C-alpha cells in the first residue's frame, strides 16, 4: 500500500505547488494591467491581452438605484483609450482579489477603487477571465462595474502580503499564540493584519455564531471581510483576546483545537468569553489554519466545564 500511494502523494504535492505558482503568475498579469494603466504604456498594456480580448463596462446610476447600462469595447480600443489619455495617472487597486484556476482558464475577481491622480473617481467589481497561452497567461475578457456608493471600499484595509514568521507556524502552540496576538492591542495601536493573514490558507472562511431575537445566526466571512469589519473598532476602542484553556485533538497531519477565550475592550464596557473552534493541517514544513468558528458564552449557552481551566488544587 505504501508503494502504491507514493506516486499519488507526489502528484498531489506537485499539483499544489503548480497551483500556487499559477496563482502568482495570474495575479502578475492583472498587476501588469494596472501598472500599464498608471504609466499609460501601450506596449505594457498590449502584453496582457489576447488578440481577441474584450471589455464590458457596466455603469451603475450615480445614486446606485435603477438599471445599469453596459458598454463593450475591444482590448485594442481599451489600450488606445488609456495610452492616449491626457488625464493624471490612473490608479486602480483590488483589495484581496480572489483567484480561481481550472486547467488553462483562470478568473480573478474582487472589489476595486479607482483614482485619477490623487482624486478618488469610483469603485466597483472587477472580473478578469484569463487563458493560458504559449506566451503565458493572458486576459481574454474583462468586466467591471462603475459605482459611486463607495464608503465600504474606501474603508477597506490594505493588508500587505508578507512571509510567515517561522516561529508563528512551526508548531501548533506557535500558531495559536499568533492567532490571538495579531488582533490584540490597546486603542490607537494598529493590528498586525499582514502577520495574521500568513496564518491561514488563501481561501479561509471564518464563521461567527450568535443569536438575534431568539434565532441562531451564522456570519460567514473571508479574512478581508473580518479585517474590514473589525479594524476600526479594535483600533478605536482597543481589544484584547486571550486564551484561557485549550483542548487539542490531532491525528497525523490534521488537528482540531477548541480554544477557550476571554475578551474585552480597553474600558471593559464590552467583555465576555467563548470558544474558538480552529481547524489546522501540517504541510510538511508549517502549520496552516484552514477554518475558524467561534461562539460567545450566553446565559443559555454556558461553556462546558471540560473547556474551562482546571481548578488549582
At 282 the pLDDT is 98
In DSSP terms, 142 is beta-bridged to: 55, 128
pTM value surpassing 0.85:
no
Q: Tens digits of per-residue pLDDT, 176-227?
A: 999 999 999 999 999 999 999 999 998 899 999 999 888 999 999 999 999 9
CA dihedral of residues 27, 220, 173, 177 (deg, nearest 10): 90
Interior angle at CA 192, CA 158 and CA 199, nearest 5 = 95
Strand ranges for the chain from DSSP E: 49-59, 69-74, 90-94, 98-102, 105-116, 119-133, 136-146, 200-212, 215-221, 240-251, 254-264, 271-282, 287-296
Q: Tens digits of per-residue pLDDT, 120-157?
A: 999 999 999 999 999 999 999 999 999 999 988 888 89
Identical fold between 2-154 and 166-307: yes
Instruction: Judge whether residue 50 has pLDDT over 80.
Output: yes
Q: Does domain 2-154 have CATH number 3.30.2270.10?
A: no
All three cell numbers of 94: 483590488
pLDDT class of 312 with cuts at 50, 70, 90: low
At 10 the pLDDT is 42
At the top level of CATH, the class of 166-307 is alpha beta
At 18 the pLDDT is 45
All three cell numbers of 237: 476602542
Report the SS3 class of residue 212: strand
Q: Tens digits of per-residue pLDDT, 3-40?
A: 444 444 444 444 444 455 788 999 999 999 999 999 99
Cα end-to-end distance, the chain, whole Å? 50
Neighbours of 1 (CB within 10 A): 5
Using CB atoms within 10 Å of the CB of residue 209, give its burial: 0 to 12 exposed, 13 to 18 middle, 19+ buried: middle
All three cell numbers of 257: 483545537
* Cα–Cα nearest to 232, from 295, 156, 292: 156
d(CA 13, CA 201): 15
CB–CB of 223/201 below 8 Å? no
Q: Where are the domains of the chain?
A: 2-154, 166-307
d(CA 140, CA 28): 15
**Percentage of residues in the chain having pLDDT higher than 70:** 93
Amino acid at each position: 500500500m505504501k508503494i502504491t500511494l507514493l506516486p499519488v502523494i507526489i502528484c498531489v504535492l506537485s499539483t499544489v505547488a503548480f497551483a500556487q505558482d499559477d496563482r502568482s503568475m495570474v495575479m502578475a498579469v492583472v498587476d501588469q494591467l494596472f501598472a500599464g494603466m498608471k504609466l499609460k504604456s501601450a506596449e505594457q498594456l498590449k502584453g496582457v491581452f489576447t488578440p481577441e480580448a474584450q471589455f464590458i463596462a457596466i455603469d451603475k446610476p450615480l445614486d446606485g438605484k435603477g438599471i445599469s447600462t453596459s458598454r463593450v469595447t475591444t482590448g485594442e480600443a481599451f489600450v488606445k483609450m488609456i495610452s492616449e489619455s491626457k488625464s493624471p495617472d490612473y490608479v486602480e487597486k483590488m483589495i484581496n482579489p480572489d483567484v480561481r484556476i481550472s486547467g488553462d482558464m483562470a478568473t480573478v475577481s474582487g472589489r476595486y477603487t479607482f483614482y485619477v491622480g490623487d482624486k478618488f473617481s469610483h469603485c466597483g467589481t472587477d472580473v478578469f477571465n484569463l487563458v493560458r497561452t504559449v506566451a503565458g497567461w493572458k486576459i481574454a475578457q474583462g468586466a467591471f462595474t462603475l459605482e459611486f456608493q463607495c464608503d465600504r471600499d474606501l474603508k477597506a484595509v490594505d493588508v500587505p502580503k508578507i512571509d510567515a514568521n517561522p516561529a508563528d507556524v512551526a508548531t501548533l502552540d506557535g500558531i495559536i499564540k499568533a492567532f490571538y496576538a495579531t488582533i490584540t492591542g490597546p486603542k490607537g495601536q494598529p493590528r498586525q493584519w499582514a502577520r495574521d493573514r500568513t496564518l491561514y490558507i488563501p481561501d479561509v472562511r471564518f464563521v461567527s455564531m450568535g443569536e438575534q431575537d431568539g434565532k441562531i445566526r451564522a456570519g460567514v466571512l473571508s479574512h478581508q471581510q473580518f479585517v474590514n469589519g473589525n479594524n476600526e473598532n479594535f483600533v478605536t476602542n482597543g481589544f484584547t483576546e486571550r486564551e484561557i484553556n485549550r483542548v487539542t485533538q490531532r491525528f497525523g497531519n490534521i488537528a482540531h483545537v477548541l480554544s477557550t477565550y476571554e475578551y474585552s475592550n480597553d474600558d471593559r464596557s464590552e467583555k465576555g468569553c467563548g470558544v474558538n473552534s480552529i481547524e489546522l493541517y501540517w504541510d510538511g514544513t508549517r502549520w496552516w489554519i484552514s477554518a475558524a468558528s467561534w461562539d460567545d458564552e450566553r446565559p443559555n449557552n454556558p461553556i462546558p466545564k471540560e473547556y474551562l481551566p482546571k481548578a488549582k488544587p
